[in-house]
Amino acid sequence: MDSLLSQLDTLVLKPELAPLLSLVKGARNGIVYGSKVRFPHALVMIFLFRSGTIREKTFLVLKATRQHARNLATFAVIYKASMVLLRNLPGGAGKEGRYDSFFAGLLGGYAVFGRQRGSISQQIVIYVFARVMLALAKLAIQPNMNPISHLITRDTRTQITNNAYPVFASMTWAMVMYIFRWHPETLASSLRSSMVYIYGDSDHWDSLRTLLVHNK
């Protein structure tokens, strides 16, 4: 057994197998991370807010966990495979191009998330989108990133960086509350229902019981 394990260790360390094995580990890490993130979230949300038997709720938790893990694993495989392919195209000289990651992400994003509009896929995309917007706000003020970047002093750049998140958070909540007030039908059903519960139902009660103990 020790001899077999030693041979396998030698095999997986071969440089020529690294691109292929990176796909395997990318899929593995996507499954593990997706499961770790989704399982506790689904467990709490489904058992607290969904109706049904324990068996039905357990099925939904496992289904959500599997989908999240599968999405991240599939994206990892497509992305890493695309990076290998682009690196080995004629003219690539076996080196990563400046925009290879962009096009690999574009393909993976479309194949995994763009073609399905389930709630889990949307949550992942929206989470990533928010992080991208914050990152772009910081990049926009970096030297040589735009025509007026040379006019921004170091102190101003620091202030903008420090205040990017507060502005982003404030504007996000300002917009969602405005939309909820005047165009609630455009919001995702899960977000809309949670906002109705917190901000709409809290305007109505008919006794001390429905004020403090039960919502309705």
Identify the pLDDT of residue 92: 64
Give me the mean pLDDT over the 11-38 stretch. Answer: 93
Counting residues of the chain whose pLDDT is more than 90, the rounded percentage is 52
Mean pLDDT of the residues in the chain: 89
* DSSP secondary structure of the chain: -HHHHHHHHHHHT-GGGHHHHHHHHHHHHHHHHHHHHHHHHHHHHHHHH--S-HHHHHHHHHHHHHHHHHHHHHHHHHHHHHHHHHHTSTTSTTS--TTHHHHHHHHHIIIIIIT---HHHHHHHHHHHHHHHHHHHHHTTSTTSSTTGGGS-HHHHHHHHHHHHHHHHHHHHHHHHHHHHH-GGGS-HHHHHHHIIIIIGGG--SSHIIIII---
pTM for the model stands at 0.81
pLDDT tens-digit readout, 176-198: 999 999 999 999 887 898 899 89
pLDDT tens-digit readout, 114-131: 988 788 899 899 999 989
